[in-house]
Structure 1
Amino acid sequence: MDEGEVQSFLIIFSVIAICLALTVIVLFIVFLQRKNKLLLQQAKTKEAFEKELSETQIEIREETLRNISWELHDNIGQLMTLAKIQVQMEEHRSDSIKEASDTIGMALQELRVLSKLINPEALKSLTLEEAVQLEIERFNRLQVLEALLKVEGEPRTLNPKEEIIIFRILQEFFSNTIKHSKASILIVEIQYHGAYLSIRAADNGIGFEQIDEKVSGIGMKNMKNRAKLVNADLKITAEKNKGTQLTLVYNFVD
């Protein structure tokens, strides 16, 4: 084999080797693209499943609350109304009967407010500020703590379903404050900033050093899951013996 043939052979061999290398590279790139596409589809499927699961769980909770609300209003409310009427018929006999009547009247009022606040259908007729204000007034009446609501900016209309979800997040925080924080003050600030809504709720309770699985529990997970459903940024911060704070940012979609 002369020198020219050797060179031709080397050229052909080089071309074949380059083609094979390019083929391997192309196949590898295609493989990576398909793998990434598959992983992306799996991630989207998982995200869609988790979102559907969260929505289903929330719908079940809302249906449960709706049924409890109706039960409170239609059955227990009617029984208390009847008891108040019966007691009022005997008011002239004793001062203690009058006090009992007043107590039943106050309990009936609280029952009606509570029934409205847990009923999704009733909440649809209230703005977010009105629903939060009802909670604030209820806390002050019951003297569980001193509560205050501040609203700033030009209010904007929220999607009714998303508005209820945001309110449920706040209710969960309020519940944790009353049950666990040993707080004496609760301040809620609702601020409209044009393109987004920010909400801050803070108490002066015992707080905690950090948020972990043991501390957070179901309530914290519920708040986080609900925030994801409305694409809101939710942050819970706390400092031991200095209170807990919730910050939620919700972007309006025009």
Structure 2
Amino acid sequence: MEFEEGQVIVLISTILVVFGVLFIVVLFTVFQRRKNKLLIDKQEAKKKYEKEIIETQIEIREETLRNISWELHDNIGQLLTLAKIQIQQASPENMEEISETISKSLTETRALSKLINPEFINNIKLKEALRLELERFNRLNYIEAKLTVLGEETEINQKHGIIIFRILQEFFSNTIKHSKATNLEVILKFKEKKIKITAQDNGVGFDVTKKSLNGIGIQNIKTRASLINALVKFESKPNEGTTLKINYYL
């Protein structure tokens, strides 16, 4: 049975249309699946981010409570004990000394009350949080700490500020507990589209070519930095201290 030329053309056209429709259906299905996967991945990333924020706030709260406990015992408790002894031995000659001790106790208590305030944890402002943290180190004679702020201050995402502050808290904790450092300096440098943060101590340091940087603490820092699209880098040499650099892009 022979087909006329017109019938052949119609048949070929029909086949092409069918294949075209099938191709479009397949393409649409693939596109829709990818779109759905992207939406699911985005939702999962958002859940992970929110979970990390909550966990970070809890860690900061726990660290703050530990700090309050130590400060009440090591600083304010000792000042009040001293004031009590001075009052028991009060005389016209030492009244000024007693007044100075009590005034210092009040100043330390006011500083401590800022840490107790829930708003401090829930609405952390990075520069203020760092200032209070380093001032506390100096008050308790843990280490000689200094904060330097360069450039015009830029408002940053509050949740991102919480993440950055916790990253620095972990570095501070390692410095005070393990580095045997006597000095700690933090430089907060504001630029047009990024903030560069450098934290450095003069402790024992370590050889980065020999020591693994994949410990739990380091991994936590890297994971948290990636959540806010920040870059972190450690630099250290034996007996030359350790430096943490954070580049946060606005």
Q: TM-score, length-normalised on structure 2?
A: 0.68
Contact 1:190-1:197 within 8 A present in 2 as well:
yes
Alignment identity in percent? 33
Report the AA paired with residue 176 of structure 2: I
The answer as to 2:184 corresponding to 1:186 is yes
Q: Which residue of 1 aligns with 2:51?
A: 53
CA-CA distance at 1:37 after TM superposition: 0.9
CA–CA separation in structure 2 for the residues paired with 1:126 and 1:60: 13
Contact 1:236-1:244 within 8 A present in 2 as well:
no
Q: Which residue of 2 aligns with 1:29?
A: 27
Describe the SS at the equivalent of 2:186. Answer: strand
Q: Which 5+ residue runs of structure 1 have no aligned equivalent?
A: 93-101
CA-CA distance at 1:240 after TM superposition: 4.4
CA–CA separation in structure 1 for the residues paired with 2:73 and 2:145: 31
Report the AA paired with residue 200 of structure 2: A
Residue 204 to residue 233, structure 1, CA distance change in 2 (3 Å): same
Residue deviations 1:101-122 (CA, integer Å, cap 9, x gap): x99x999977875664575535
CA–CA separation in structure 1 for the residues paired with 2:247 and 2:144: 25
Contact 1:153-1:192 within 8 A present in 2 as well:
yes
Contact 2:187-2:197 within 8 A present in 1 as well:
yes
Q: 2:14 aligns with which of 6, 16, 22?
A: 16
Residue deviations 1:111-154 (CA, integer Å, cap 9, x gap): 87566457553578996445434444444565554443322112
Q: 1:113-124 alignment to 2 at 5 Å?
A: 113=111, 116-117=114-115, 120-122=118-120
Residue 159 to residue 51, structure 1, CA distance change in 2 (3 Å): closer
Q: TM-score, length-normalised on structure 1?
A: 0.68
CA-CA distance at 1:43 after TM superposition: 0.5
Describe the SS at the equivalent of 1:86. Answer: helix
CA–CA separation in structure 2 for the residues paired with 1:126 and 1:48: 21
RMSD: 4.3
The answer as to 2:165 corresponding to 1:167 is yes
CA–CA separation in structure 1 for the residues paired with 2:117 and 2:170: 15
Q: Which 5+ residue runs of structure 2 have no aligned equivalent?
A: 91-99
Residue deviations 1:217-242 (CA, integer Å, cap 9, x gap): 1x33544455456x351313234425
Residue deviations 1:189-209 (CA, integer Å, cap 9, x gap): 111223432211123442333
CA-CA distance at 1:44 after TM superposition: 0.9
Describe the SS at the equivalent of 2:200. Answer: strand
CA–CA separation in structure 1 for the residues paired with 2:18 and 2:124: 69
Q: Which residue of 2 aligns with 1:236?
A: 233
CA-CA distance at 1:243 after TM superposition: 4.0
Q: Which residue of 2 aligns with 1:96?
A: none
